[in-house]
A = this chain, B = another copy of it.
Amino acid sequence: MDHPFLERIEAGLRAAIESRNLAPTLDEAARYALLGGGKRLRPILAIQSCIAAGGSPADAMPAAVSLECVHAFSLVHDDLPALDNDDLRRGRATVHREFEESTAILVGDALQCIAAEVALESPRNTTRIVKEILEATRLMIDGQAYDTEGIFPADVTDEESRLRLMHRLKTGALIRAACRCGALAAEAEENVLQRLDRFGAAVGLMFQIVDDVLDETQTTAHLGKTGGKDRASGKRTFPGIVGLDSSRAEIARLAETARDELIPIGPNADPLRELVEYLVMRTN
């Protein structure tokens, strides 16, 4: 994804690590985990939501960097042997394979902490933004617990509902928070915040269903992570439960919902519209 704010996001991520003076091994592992590529979807959503709501990119930059730190922390811990046991991430060894498992645990912890520290630097609506990011982080961890443990609330019984709950928490919460934080950073009016909230919820679920479909249909080399692993390891996935065709129909439906929420916002939301098209069409 080529994006006008990508360089500023990367600089912000670098600064988040470099300003902390971490222990040597932690510092190296944090750079590896955070600066090793990635789509930067959450930072881009935060910044573009802020712009859509009438703010400037600088207003949303701390939240943007914070959200990517949370995302990076979650990838490092989810890849651990006791969780998904993945060797490959973004075409490179996962953190516990490149370093020690202990380093991966500690650098995940450190990135979670740094995420909250960076969010505190938000110039406007500071405590609300920090609160949003923390709540989304907790929901994300909750989602990973459902995914790992497979124990669900008593009233969530069918497979599709369980999968939707899991996706909403594990992937959706942080993507939705990105859009909400962008709106909060712009001190958006309540109705704009609500629109970007629903936009984020639709995009979050859509993103994860696209991910599930790609895991089934793309090769490992193309994905930069182990393809076909979800179904092979017996994971709940959208195509696994409702089939590929219904998954693609759901993706189209969610993209439509996301677009509809942007209509009243006008041309400031054009980059968000383009982002939806990119996310529907992406192949890795």
Contact = CB atoms under 8 A, between A and B. Distances in A.
A117 B153 CA distance: 24
A137 interface: yes
Interface in A92-138: 100-103, 105-106, 108-110, 112-114, 116-117, 120, 126-127, 130-131, 134-135, 137-138
Nearest to A142: B23
A77 B134 contact: no
Given A26-B142, A142-B23, A117 B134 contact: yes
Interface in A21-73: 22-26, 73
A23 B109 contact: no
A222 B268 CA distance: 66
B110 A83 contact: no
Contacts of A112: 109, 112-113
Interface residues of A, number: 44
Given A25-B145, A26-B145, A138-B117, A109 B77 contact: yes
Contacts of A77: 105-106, 109
Contacts of A146: 23
Nearest to A83: B102
A101 B112 CA distance: 19
Contact of A145 (B103, B127, B152): B103
A251 interface: no
A223 interface: no
A110 B138 contact: yes
Given A142-B26, A149-B23, A105 B117 contact: no
A272 interface: no
B20 A138 contact: yes
A82 interface: yes
A171 interface: no
A184 interface: no
A141 B83 contact: no
A151 interface: yes
The 4 closest A-B CB pairs, nearest first, are: A82-B101, A23-B145, A25-B149, A82-B102
Interface of A: 20, 22-26, 73, 77, 80, 82-83, 100-103, 105-106, 108-110, 112-114, 116-117, 120, 126-127, 130-131, 134-135, 137-138, 141-142, 144-146, 148-149, 151-153
9 contacts: A22-B138, A22-B142, A26-B142, A73-B109, A102-B148, A102-B149, A116-B134, A117-B138, A120-B127
